[in-house]
Structure 1
Amino acid sequence: MERRYNTLESTIELGFEEELGTEAIHDSVTQPLGVTAAIEEPIEKTEVRKSVSCEVKDHKDESQELLQTLEQQTNWNGEQLVKYEGFWFPARLFRPILSTQKYFRAKDSDIILSTLPKSGTTWLKALTFSIVNRNIYTINQSPLLTSNPHAFVPFFELSVYFKQENPDLEHIPSPRIFSTHIPFNILPNSIRESECRVIYICRNPLDQFISLWHFFLDNKREEYIENIATDEAFDMFCKGFYHFGPFWDHMLGYSNAHLRDSQKVLFLKYEDLKEDITFNIKNIAEFIGFPFSSKEKLVTWM
């Protein structure tokens, strides 16, 4: 019989391997297994398709009109940011963010992972995916060994609603796992009002800035030739002029949501995860309804 990674030790091992990978902040995320077909499945009835098409076109026009009215700021890598509901978003992601707000319908079994960029997103995705699917894949057959976690836990704004205005997500098997950088108060109402679970991880803002700064230095736009010093970039970071900033407003939104309802929102710290990975994996597993059995726990300590 093939051995499956239904032990906490195996889940930790796979999670640490994925943390070594690069966290992408672009729209070229591969669709996850089982998600592609659901997103791209055509609507059968012509009348419904026409109705949806008209609604989508109207929504695109509305988002474009709203975009023109928003305060704008150029990020340190030359990308245009717009200020919406107190947060700065890449202009190219504004329409997908509004589409997420308008069209996403959460199910009670959904799991939503939320972070600021460069705060442990890839790691959290790998751990959550491994916990949920530990009885499905054998250790040597885990898709995380050959593919980035982004392929199996897609971003709302960078993948799902970036590629399509209103994709059909109903056929994705439960539990559906999605991720986002969207602040709590801008999440779709269905997420906040349903029984779905939200996991948020934050990181020391100085460490987050350094990681984000180096990421943008390595991926800066060729057409943006102005050189910005690190201290100038840090000043922009402190003012919140970066993707999904400001930090404190973003973090406090989820922290306060956790304080209001700890059964709804799990608030994690990147540093705590590194310090005691075993405790935090157990905590995540319990929170999302996939606790480790006593047998699995026993195997962990052997």
Structure 2
Amino acid sequence: MPSSSTPSHETTATGAPRPAGPGLLAGRTVSRIGYGAMQLERLHGDRDTALATLRLAVELGIDHIDTAQFYGDGFVNGLLREALRPEDGVLVATKVGADPNPGGPVPMRPAQRPEELRASVEANLAGLGLDQIPLVNLRRMDAAPRIPLEADQVVDLDDQLAEMTALRDEGKIGAIGLSTVTLDGLRRAIPAGIACVQNAYSLVARGDEDLLQLCVAENIAWVPYFPLGSAFRGMPKVTDEAAVQEAARALDATPSQVGLAWLLHHAPNVLLIPGTANADHLRANVAAGALTLDAATLAALDAVPARTGAIGID
């Protein structure tokens, strides 16, 4: 599993060039294009392919992988434990605030109470085979996508941050992030030391622009999920936009690659974690880091209006 080794600026610990160059996360240099492991759930019946996908990610220069214990009810964390080696120097980030919900309408259920956050950290430590998790994101339920909460799951952010800070002080986690957080919530949390924010954000869903700019000002990494919209019904898709498709034709790229490249160009603190269970898609996502968008292309993409629609569950 990942070690605390520090890669060079332009290459990873394995010597691979960093896709899209270097970024900063939880005090470490990582490639700006990482990998979101959620879709590996789809390979539950093909463990060898899942492991090969993770090894390919490392070979392609990815050294930031995002996971959660509720991805496949521990299945994905088990893959990471088996596939990753200390010499890979991969920063693994996980999230707490939800637990697995096998057989439920959504794959997770809220677990917001401080004692549940601690139990989830312990479960992630065991599942990942780590003594310390480099980064743990606290998934709040303040912003969309929301999950209905029972009364005992409505927990004040300060109480949660106190528990997360205690876990950091104990050395169980290295850094604290926030997910699905509001602008006010981030402002309240900054004194606790926040390494990153994970919110739904893309070219067509830019409602959190003020939140992003606060992260820029505070040197907090912005790690958007649903970077291309979502497959969930009713949610706009970046790849449907005419300006994105036109840019893709001009650049001999795919619309998905253009959508990812726009995010990288949009702000210097953006780190991407596009997810896939397909090796060709993984290679294409990494290749998006090499796309250059000129001023005219950026202006055309910036002019795409933000869309509204239902947001799915991350």
Tell me whether the two structures share a fold, i.e. TM-score over 0.5: no
Q: Who wins on radius of gyration, i.e. which is larger?
A: 1
TM-score (norm 1): 0.27
TM-score (norm 2): 0.26
Q: Which has the higher helix share?
A: 1
Greater relative CO (CA pairs within 8 A, separation 6+)? 1
